[in-house]
Amino acid sequence: IHYCMFWLLENMGMTDPQAKMNVVRFVHALYSLLTVVLVYRIVHLYSDSRRALQAGLIVALLWFFPILAVRNLTEMVSVPPLLAAAWFLCRGPGRRWALWGGFFLALAVAIRFQNVFMVAGFGLFLLIRRQWIDAIWLSLAFGVTLFFTQIADLWLWGRPFAELQEYVMYNLANKETYFSAPWYQYILTVAGLLLPPLGVLWFFAWLRYGYKWLLLFLPSLVFFAFHSYFPNKQERFIIPVFPFVIMIGVLAWQQLKYVKLKRISLGIFWIINILLLCSVSWSYTKRSRVEAMYMLKAQSDYRGLLVENTTDYEEILLPRFYAANWSGMYYLSKASDVDKEGALMLDRPDELWPTHAFFFDRTQLEQRVEGVQKQYQIYLEPLGVAEPSFLDYVLFKLNPVNRNEEIFVFKIIRSR
């Protein structure tokens, strides 16, 4: 879809990467409105229009949802199909609803494989309710639709589910490579991002009264339990749970006691939520990487990049799309043999030398710049600094695995 969109935009004369992405963001924003509509309809099936409107407004205006909804995040893109499946299955037993439910669940899994645990929750609900025929129809629709989503794998790799197999193998092999967190990490994440004390009340309501809306509770519970068990934890992984927690929280609101606490919690929620919404909606994550690469687009002689990140072991992935140039990158990290890399680089002809350099992090910056200049016999001319966004700072504080990085951009001038 993105390829076709970019092809169309380029044929219309739009070649600037930032402009292209603005169009993509707009399309994602329109798509995300399905989440609001489906939350409203699901809650309306169980309750009145007042609560349905409340749930829809919360999902639409929750401080981090608008900013994430326009990003290319599989966790966000898979939410509308999950809610569509829930909406069809909520409408009652019957072949028609089960087939549609299976169709949309397959789309959700094709977008993000971990959503299979949501599917397990929906299937468990049908088995508990002894809706055997519906379970069969749902499984049939799910299997057929999922198979057709594998046409690309058949064409590229010669077998279906090739991407799924590699994805599972990679995640199992690297389940503790990135960042391990305790089992209760996502409890704090959900309750915290929904803004205490209301977030705590909603999470409690989801656990305590979820059985009354079992079709909404079981899929989100199974999904939440798996991610809490799996060591690698990042905030975005748990995004699909939020609409379900909010729907049950709104539906169970009258079940909760402490009227005064509820009133105060709602007031605090809306005040803080609006302040955060106005702050982060103008921001985006990984801003420094995007802005640094976009600086290179203005450099007509750019043909390669030296990435210096010797304060860390990581070889950082950079969005080459924004430079409109796919030239090679050469990495220096803590794991690099600087002397060996320097010797190899000095033997390169001029046309194979990188023309620009990125230095990550301000730590001992002057010494690192001097060291690279001496090692590679070059002069580094400063071009600018790409700063992180406010949202990067917030995410870094929530979880240090998220990077909050400054990038210093230089032009490489070879000594003669």
> What is the domain count for the chain?
2
Question: Is 212 found in the same domain as 165?
Answer: yes
pLDDT of residue 165: 82
Given a contact cutoff of 8 angstroms between Cβ atoms, the answer to whether 384 and 409 are in contact is yes
- Both structure tokens of 407: 């990038």
Cα dihedral across residues 44, 50, 54, 60: positive or negative = positive
Residues 100/144, Cβ–Cβ less than 8 Å: no
Write down the pLDDT at residue 1. 78
pLDDT of residue 368: 93
pLDDT single digits (tens) 76-128: 999 999 999 999 999 989 999 999 999 999 999 999 999 999 999 999 999 99
Q: What pLDDT shows up at residue 338?
A: 60
The helix (run of H) or strand (run of E) holding residue 329 is strand 329-333
Task: State how far the Cα of 186 lies from the Cα of 193, in Å rounded to an integer.
Answer: 10
> 233 near 177, Cβ under 8 Å?
no
- 76 to each of 240, 329, 338, how far by Cα in Å? 7, 30, 41
Same domain, 49 and 191: yes
Which of 51-65, 331-345, 395-409 shows the lowest mean pLDDT across its residues?
331-345
Find the length of the chain: 416
Q: What is the mean pLDDT of residues 282-300?
A: 93
pLDDT at 239: 96
- Which residue type, as a one-letter code, is found at position 350? D
Q: 10 with 31, same domain?
A: yes
73: helix, strand or coil:
coil
* Tokens describing residue 387: 């700063």
For the cut 60, the answer to whether the pLDDT of residue 415 exceeds it is yes
Q: What's the whole-number average pLDDT of the chain?
A: 90
DSSP state of 388: P
Q: What is the CB-side half-sphere exposure of residue 50 using CA atoms within 13 A?
A: 2
CA distances for 305 relative to 172, 273, 299, 410, angstroms: 32, 41, 12, 10
| Residue 122 Cα to chain centre, angstroms | 23
Give me 348's structure tokens.
């390169």
236 and 370 together in one domain: no
Distance CA 370, CA 378 (A): 10
- Band (176; pLDDT cuts 50, 70, 90): low
Q: Could you tell me the pTM of the whole model?
A: 0.88
In the predicted model, what is the mean pLDDT of residues 193-218?
Answer: 95
Give 206-257 pLDDT, tens digit per residue: 999 999 999 999 999 999 999 999 888 888 999 999 999 999 999 999 888 8
Contact between 306 and 357 (Cβ < 8 Å)? yes
pLDDT at 224: 98
Last residue of some domain: 259, 280, 301?
A: 280
State both tokens at 85.
């499946």
Shared domain for 51 and 158, answered yes or no, is yes
Say whether both 58 and 91 belong to one domain. yes
The answer to whether residue 416 scores a pLDDT higher than 60 is no
For residue 151, how many C-alpha atoms fall within 13 Å in the half-sphere facing its CB?
4
Q: 31 and 111 in one domain?
A: yes
The angle, 0 to 180 degrees and rounded to 10, between the axes of the packed helices 185-193 and 214-229 is 130
110 close to 74: Cβ distance less than 8 angstroms:
no
What's the pLDDT at 279? 87
Residues 227 and 157 both lie in one domain: yes
pLDDT band, very low/low/confident/very high, at 179 (cuts 50, 70, 90): low
Cis check for the bond before 197: say yes or no (omega within 30 of 0).
Answer: yes
Among 398, 407, 392, which Cα is nearest to 296's? 407
* Lowest-confidence pick of 142-156, 252-266, 387-401: 387-401
Domain hosting residue 293, numbered range: 287-414
Q: Is the dihedral of CA 230, 234, 239, 242 positive or negative?
A: positive
If asked whether residues 369 and 399 sit together in one domain, one would say yes
Q: Give the pLDDT band (50/70/90) at residue 414.
A: confident
- CA–CA separation, 242 and 246 (whole Å): 6
pLDDT score of 401:
72
> In the prediction, which pLDDT does 112 show?
93
Q: What was the pLDDT predicted at 342?
A: 60
Show which of 280, 311, 328 is a domain's final residue.
280
**How far apart are alpha carbons 189 and 196 in whole angstroms?**
11
The pLDDT of residue 107 is: 97
| pLDDT given for residue 341 in this prediction | 64
Answer yes or no: do 141 and 165 share one domain: yes
Is the domain of 122 the same as that of 160?
yes
The verdict on 96 and 218 lying in the same domain is yes
Q: In the listed set 244, 259, 280, which residue is the last one of a domain according to the structure?
A: 280
Is pLDDT larger for residue 402 or for residue 14? 14
Q: Which of 194-203, 330-339, 340-349 has the lowest mean pLDDT?
A: 340-349
Residue 385 backbone dihedrals phi, psi, to 5 degrees:
-130, 130
